Amino acid sequence: MPTPYPAETLLIEGTDAIAFAQAQFSSKVSALTMGHWQFSAWLDPQGRVRALFHLVRLADDRLLLLLRGGSAAGMVDALQRFVFRSKLTLTALPPRVLATGPAQPMHAIDDAAEALSLGCGTHSVQITATNHGNDAWRLLQLRAGWPWLSGKALDALQPPALSLHRLHAVAIDKGCYPGQEIVARLHYRGGHKRHLHSVILSHAANAGEVLRSGEREVGCLLDVISTDTAIEALVVLSDEVAAQANDGRLNTFDDGLVMHINNTWPA
């Protein structure tokens, strides 16, 4: 049985927890009801995604973040600088693991004694302290276009490249948050030149790996999964390179990598 995927989680607790998250994160945190989760992100002032996560409302004054890549301890340290006099605590939780659970309604949660389950429609993701389970959820989410950020993909990509509007992880019609002006400008004026694709790779590669063509950086691998029949990946590609695909096939990369585009998502 495969080793379950590690879970990086952190808690935001206190009277000002919701107001703090609403001001820092890109989703409509104030609209999140208890017993549910939403996609959200923390951006830098230039609109680049510092962290992408499932945001879970456990109580009136208690939020859990399940990071889709990155370090919970590192995020706590970075967020701590913005707490000021807000009445809240930030805590990186001890290491736990992720496992695949049964189908559960999208955005619902089930907070059982041994695991917290996040409903993802066709399946659920369980945050558990045990080593039981499997990571079948990863392939389901890759095919759905749910990005996982690691390596050089962190602090490098703006929401349109990750199709975060589609996931309702960024909001245009809420108060200010870091990077909000950039998000609004890209939404209303367009001009973003990179988009998200699911692909089949010709050979193994590493998540977070930068893709180059003619010494130019033209994309980044976000998640890579080897199955019995293929190597599947999520990738952000420049529109110029993606447009060169012939019947979905791209072979313009410096390292001899060939990929076939299966699906493309809008900004």
In order of their start, the domains of the chain are 5-95+143-186 (3.30.1360.120), 193-265 (2.40.30.110)
Quick: pLDDT tens for 166-181: 999 999 988 899 999 9
Q: Given this model, what pLDDT does residue 129 score? A: 84
Whether residue 144 has pLDDT greater than 50: yes
Quick: pLDDT tens for 53-84: 999 999 999 999 999 999 999 999 999 999 99
93 sits in the region (left: phi over 0; alpha: psi -120 to 50; else beta) called beta
Quick: pLDDT tens for 83-137: 999 999 999 999 899 999 999 999 999 998 789 999 999 999 999 987 676 789 9
- Contacts by 29-35 with C-beta closer than 8 Å and gap 24+? 29/55, 29/63, 30/174, 32/57, 33/57, 34/58, 34/59, 34/60, 35/108, 35/109, 35/111
**Amino acid making up residue 184:** A
Which pLDDT band holds residue 1 (cuts at 50, 70, 90)?
very low
10 Å CB burial of residue 150 (0-12, 13-18, 19+) is: middle
Q: Which residue has better confidence, 32 or 135? A: 32
User: Which token pair is 249?
Assistant: 């096939």
**Amino acid making up residue 206:** N
Quote the pTM value.
0.95
**Amino acid making up residue 247:** D
Residues in the chain: 267
Whether the Cβ atoms of residue 54 and residue 126 lie closer than 8 Å to each other: no
Interacting residues of 74 by C-beta distance below 8 A, sequence separation 6+ = none
- Sheet containing strand 249-250, edge to edge, reads 210-213, 216-226, 231-238, 194-201, 259-265, 249-250
Quick: pLDDT tens for 189-241: 887 899 999 999 999 999 999 999 888 999 999 999 999 999 999 999 999 99
Q: Given this model, what pLDDT does residue 113 score? A: 73
Rounded Cα distance between 263 and 58, Å, is 34
Rounded Cα distance between 237 and 1, Å, is 34
Q: Which residue has better confidence, 150 or 36? A: 36
Q: What is the CB neighbour count within 10 angstroms for residue 210?
A: 13
Q: Given this model, what pLDDT does residue 4 score? A: 67
